[in-house]
């Protein structure tokens, strides 16, 4: 069935005549007449009575009634495709690591979806290694994570860096210190994230270099839950500032005295998909605007992982 002829038929019925429909659609009247004749030929039945007064046949009334939803669906589909073409609609599968997924991302996505209500987003929370694999398999469109060295198939663009701070139980002997060094925490329990976590790798290097492994450790696999374990008095943790703030009652945050430890986060996608297009491009630009604050200047150049 000719969809253009179907839409023309509905405009004729809505406006009550061929002439008005031709004017609205900017067609010649002969074009409108030809489209209706073609439609009737395809259906094998007369839809509009021929005469001075506009009138539908019985078949025309049934056809109009039962095809109305088709026209509406077509118009909705056309509008959706038009919105997708300019990035105003679409489905985005994004990944994110903690603490971004729990701390920064909810507010950012709420503001983004208020601005682009026709875009649909699903969020997959995992570590950088897992998100990288899902990107390569085509299960995600983009991810907010740290840099991952796995060849040239992925593109990473740094957006911001975040310092780590010591989070200490309020009743801990070291809680009164204004700052803490790694030497201070010798012989105290440290809470560490899971073994494949980038935070843990950096922290373990620092512990080995400065504490000679004279630290008792306890593994807590969830970074988001870490401050609750500190609150419970189970040990000291090195966490991103966004995890430490706002502080839970019963905890205090202390800056590292000595070497600064920070993690760089950014956007990761397939190298073949960069630069991102359509709705993904809208989200990426919004994330870049929200996350790359004036104090987060990075020396890293965009690179292929």
Tell me which residue of 299, 217, 203 sits closest to 256, measured CA to CA. Answer: 203
Q: Are residues 255 and 203 in the same domain?
A: yes
End position of a domain, from candidates 42, 62, 85: 85
Residue 290 in this model has a pLDDT that exceeds 90: yes
Q: What is the pLDDT of residues 231-256, one digit of tens each?
A: 999 999 999 888 887 778 899 999 99
pTM over 0.75: no
Q: Are residues 199 and 237 in the same domain?
A: yes
The predicted structure's pLDDT at residue 87? 63
Q: Are residues 289 and 208 in the same domain?
A: no
The predicted structure's pLDDT at residue 108? 95
Residues above pLDDT 90, as percent of the chain: 41
- Beta carbons of 256 and 179 less than 8 angstroms apart: yes
**Residue 281 lies in domain:** 90-159+264-304
Residue 293 in this model has a pLDDT that exceeds 60: no
Q: Are residues 15 and 79 in the same domain?
A: yes
Q: What angle do CA 245, 251, 253 make, to 5 degrees?
A: 55
Q: Are residues 67 and 22 in the same domain?
A: yes
Residue 3 in this model has a pLDDT that exceeds 60: yes
Q: What is the pLDDT of residues 82-134, one digit of tens each?
A: 766 666 778 899 999 988 998 889 999 999 999 999 899 999 999 888 999 99
Mean pLDDT of 262-291: 91
Q: Are residues 94 and 145 in the same domain?
A: yes
In 171-215, where do the E strands start and end? Answer: 179-180, 189-192
Q: Measured between alpha carbons, how far is 19 from 24 in angstroms, rounded to an integer?
A: 9
Q: What is the pLDDT of residues 177-231, one digit of tens each?
A: 999 998 899 889 999 988 877 778 888 888 888 877 678 889 998 887 888 999 9
Query: With bands split at pLDDT 50, 70 and 90, how would you rate the model's confidence at 149?
Result: low
């Amino acid at each position: 069935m000719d969809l253009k002829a179907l839409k023309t038929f509905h405009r004729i019925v809505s406006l009550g005549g061929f002439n008005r429909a031709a004017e609205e659609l900017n067609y010649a009247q002969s074009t409108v007449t030809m489209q209706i004749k073609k439609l009737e030929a395809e259906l094998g039945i007369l839809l509009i009575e021929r005469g001075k007064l506009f009138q539908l046949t019985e078949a025309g009334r049934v056809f109009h009634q039962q095809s109305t939803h088709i026209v509406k669906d077509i118009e909705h589909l056309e509008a959706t495709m038009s919105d997708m073409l300019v990035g105003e609609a679409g489905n985005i599968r994004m990944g994110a690591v903690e603490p971004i997924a729990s701390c920064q991302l909810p507010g950012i996505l709420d503001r983004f979806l208020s601005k682009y209500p026709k875009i649909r987003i699903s969020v997959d929370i995992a570590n950088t290694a897992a998100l990288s694999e899902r990107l390569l398999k085509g299960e995600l469109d983009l991810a907010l994570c740290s840099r991952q060295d796995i060849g040239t198939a992925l593109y990473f663009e740094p957006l911001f860096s975040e310092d780590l701070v010591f989070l200490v139980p309020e009743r801990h002997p070291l809680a009164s210190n204004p700052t803490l060094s790694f030497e201070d925490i010798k012989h105290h329990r440290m809470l560490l994230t899971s073994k494949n976590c980038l935070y843990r790798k950096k922290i373990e290097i620092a512990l080995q270099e400065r504490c000679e492994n004279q630290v008792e450790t306890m593994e807590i696999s969830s970074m988001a839950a870490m401050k609750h374990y500190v609150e419970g008095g189970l040990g000291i943790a090195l966490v991103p500032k966004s995890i430490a703030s706002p502080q839970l009652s019963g905890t205090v945050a202390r800056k590292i005295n000595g070497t600064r430890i920070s993690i760089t986060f950014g956007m990761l996608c397939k190298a073949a998909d960069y630069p991102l297009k359509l709705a993904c491009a809208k989200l990426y630009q919004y994330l870049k605007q929200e996350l790359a604050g004036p104090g987060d200047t990075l020396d890293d150049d965009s690179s292929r992982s």
